[in-house]
């Protein structure tokens, strides 16, 4: 299967209370930059553009957890980025309202990060 087919198959069987929010975030990520590709990494949808930079973590059931994992992420500053790790930051969304409220900032983070790694 292609990367896209693998993600489609994964999402068809995903059981998560915030599945609609996960789908919305997938769309937001992909619409941020046409160079972004999606595949399964670490057993979840993951995104790359030359280098890997963002992956869902579906263990939490009460919020959507995204991991920015790239050496350049510490160069990006944002109030919605959490953690002070050497090469990763976390973002959490509790519902669709929060996704819509933070959409512009989330896309700005992605665009800025891609500027550092592209």
Strands (E), 1-118: 37-41, 44-49, 51-57, 64-69, 88-93
Domain extents for the chain?
Answer: 3-117
Angstrom distance (rounded) from CA 42 to CA 25: 18
* pLDDT tens column, 5-55: 999 999 999 999 999 999 999 999 999 999 999 999 989 999 999 899 999
Residue 81 backbone phi and psi in degrees, to 5: -85, 130
Q: pTM of the full predicted structure?
A: 0.94
Task: Report the pLDDT value the prediction gives residue 1, as an integer from 0 to 100.
Answer: 87
Two structure tokens written together for 110: 């992605």
CATH number of 3-117: 3.90.1150.200
């Amino acid at each position: 299967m292609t990367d896209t087919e693998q993600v489609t198959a994964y999402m068809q069987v995903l059981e998560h209370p915030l599945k609609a929010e996960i789908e919305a975030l997938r769309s937001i990520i992909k619409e941020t930059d046409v160079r972004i590709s999606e595949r399964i990494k670490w057993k979840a949808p993951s995104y790359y553009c030359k280098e890997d930079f963002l992956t869902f973590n579906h263990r939490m059931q009460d919020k959507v957890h995204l991991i920015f994992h790239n050496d350049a992420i510490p160069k990006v500053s944002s109030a919605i980025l959490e953690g002070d790790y050497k090469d990763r930051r976390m973002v959490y969304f509790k519902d669709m309202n929060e996704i819509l409220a933070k959409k512009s900032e989330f896309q700005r983070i992605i665009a800025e990060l891609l500027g550092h790694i592209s």
